[in-house]
Amino acid sequence: MRVRRVAAVALRQFYLYRGSPTRIVPLFAWVAIDITLWGFISRYLNKVAAPGYNFIPALLGAVLLWDFLARVMQGVSTAFLEDVWSRNFLNIFATPLLISEYVLGLVITAIATSLVGLFTMLVLASAAFGLSFMVYGIALASFVLVLFLSGIALGIAGSAMVLRLGPASEWFLWPMPALIAPFAGVFYPLSTLPGWMQTVALVLPPAYVFEGMRAIVHRTPWEISNLAIGLSLSVLYIVGAAFFFRQVYRTAVRTGLLARYNAESTG
Amino acid sequence: MTAATSAVPYRELVEAAPVLAVGNLRKAYAGTVAVDDISFAIAPGEIVGLLGPNGAGKTTTVNMILGVLAPSSGSIRIDGIDLLTRRSAALGSTNFSAVYAALPGNLSVEQNLRVFGLLYEVPALSDRIDELLARFDLLRFRNTRGGVLSSGEQTRLSLAKALINRPKLLLLDEPTASIDPATARDIRATIRAFADDNSSAVLWTSHNMYEVEEVCHRVLFLSHGRLLLEGDPRVLPGEYGEANLENLFVNVAREQLRGEAG
């Protein structure tokens, strides 16, 4: 693992963001819109629902955390897609760059871009809608960590999928969080789901986060060890996603997919 | 036109510590053999032309040497390092420029060179970038995005990237395809000087036979994935009763077409 090569991958992304407002605006605009929308919905529900229950930490907090996971995933996959869009695979992968260095460079980019989104959401949710993060206590850090790791795993796996299936498959990438959300119980307890969906939720790290979050808000008993399961699963998924990416890359090198991805081989 | 002749026999070159040694290289896809058991070596300072009609296996060969396409069998050693087992180390002393691999158009000229300089871990990178910008007449485009350069300017940028790590092995796929004759002449001189000064080996594919005659010490003719001819581009046509290299090329291409028809 060479630091300069990892830095090169991240620097390329920094250059792209620095020179392009159209890349910077989406880092905070969409999450700001989401927080604004769900902030007003939460306020409205507070008015019409039974008094004494506050939807802000339960609903708006869930939106914030879920958007964070999505931003992390998109941070990794968008950085990868920059190489797809600029037809840069041949240039990048004909260098001494290791796959682990490449993926780490993407992850560093995702950390930077997702932090912009997280900061925007935190400021807006607390300043405009009075969301207090003290409600969640120290568990908030664990929630963010599990969702961050899950987003990274999802981003790497999604990028591997695009590498395997070709540039057009990026349209499978974007809805991935939306596909997982119903199973993860982002907005409702897992007990709401039918049995088979609850079984699926058992292997989804975010499900442990949102169950924990609601337990804290509702002041119901909750085992912190459940979050440890979520954390372990998310680490496992990162390892699995990295392995998947490496295997897809090796297959692409063996079959000629990587060379043809950008260059129409004529010889 | 069957037997391959060799200006410098493969075995002799391998024993003389070549920069590139390709041994029994083969690439087969389902039902198609793109490269069929080719062996060649390139000595330090030597410029070798890889010639052949479209579909002969040139780009497949180049892609395998660049590590972006795995051979079905055979070996590739770059500066004595086995590419298949020590890919990163071998590619550290390699670089390339190809007409089909433009650098990202959304980065400036300097940003492209800096990113790739870091990927190749070039020491004193800023100085090296300045040197290359001057050598390829790109100083005024330092902060210009690659995508808005003319095709000739993009080619010069690609060549600057290709030389950034002073590679021991330089692969050039049609390096002068989109540039004017005067600039092309300058670039040929630059590449020749680079190979001489750094004892670097150059593998050069081109369809411009006059350019090949001028630049290359030796040529390899590929046809149907096989190495058909090998020799000095100034001597080889005469050995096969042709007036010049272009006529020889046309003859090889026709043979390939006859083979495909048959």
* Three-state DSSP class for residue A32: helix
B262 touches chain A (CB under 8 A): no
DSSP B15-54: HT--SEEEEEEEEEETTEEEEEEEEEEE-TT-EEEEE--T
Q: Are B52 and B222 in contact (CB under 8 A)?
A: yes
Structural domain including B57 reads 10-93+169-261
Amino acid at A49: A
Other CB atoms within 10 A of residue B217 CB: 19
The 10s digit of each residue's pLDDT in A136-177 is 888 999 999 999 999 999 999 999 999 999 888 988 999 999
Q: Which residues of A touch B88 (CB under 8 A)?
A: 96-98
Among B166, B183, B206, residue at a domain's last position: B166
Q: Which residues of A touch B252 (CB under 8 A)?
A: none
**Packing angle, helices A176-184 and A139-165, rounded to 10:** 140
Mutate to test the interface with A, among B119, B145, B158, B206 (most CBs of A within 10 A): B119
Q: Supply the pLDDT for residue B258.
A: 62
Complex ipTM value = 0.90
Name which of A91, A113, A211, A185 is nearest B66 in CA terms.
Answer: A91
Instruction: Report the C-alpha gap between B220 and B243 in whole angstroms.
Output: 18
Number of domains making up chain B: 2
Contact B107 A264 (CB under 8 A): no
Same domain as B181, residue B156? no
- Determine, yes or no, domain membership for B27: yes
Q: Supply the pLDDT for residue B259.
A: 59
- Determine, yes or no, domain membership for B3: no
The 10s digit of each residue's pLDDT in B131-164 is 999 999 999 999 999 999 998 899 999 999 999 9
B114 touches chain A (CB under 8 A): yes
- Determine, yes or no, domain membership for B4: no
Q: Are A263 and A90 in contact (CB under 8 A)?
A: yes
- Determine, yes or no, domain membership for B5: no
Strands B218-223 and B226-231: antiparallel
Instruction: Report the C-alpha gap between B174 and A44 in whole angstroms.
Output: 66
Exposure pattern of A44-75 as b/e (b: 16+ CB <10 Å)?
A: eeeeeeeeeebbbbbbbbbbbbbbbbbbbbbb
Same domain as B158, residue B179? no
B45, two tokens: 């300072």
Q: Give the predicted TM-score (pTM) of the model.
A: 0.91
Among B166, B200, B221, residue at a domain's last position: B166
* Three-state DSSP class for residue B243: coil
Instruction: Report the C-alpha gap between A25 and A113 in whole angstroms.
Output: 11
Q: Supply the pLDDT for residue A264.
A: 35
Same domain as B122, residue B240? no
Among B129, B146, B166, residue at a domain's last position: B166
Contact A12 B70 (CB under 8 A): no
Contact B63 A262 (CB under 8 A): no
User: Of A39-48, A64-73, A92-101, B239-248, which gets the smallest average pLDDT?
Assistant: B239-248
Q: Which residues of chain B have pLDDT under 70?
A: 1-16, 256-262
Question: Residue B200 to residues A195, B81, B133, B187: CA-CA distances in angstroms?
Answer: 66, 15, 21, 16
Contact B120 A96 (CB under 8 A): yes
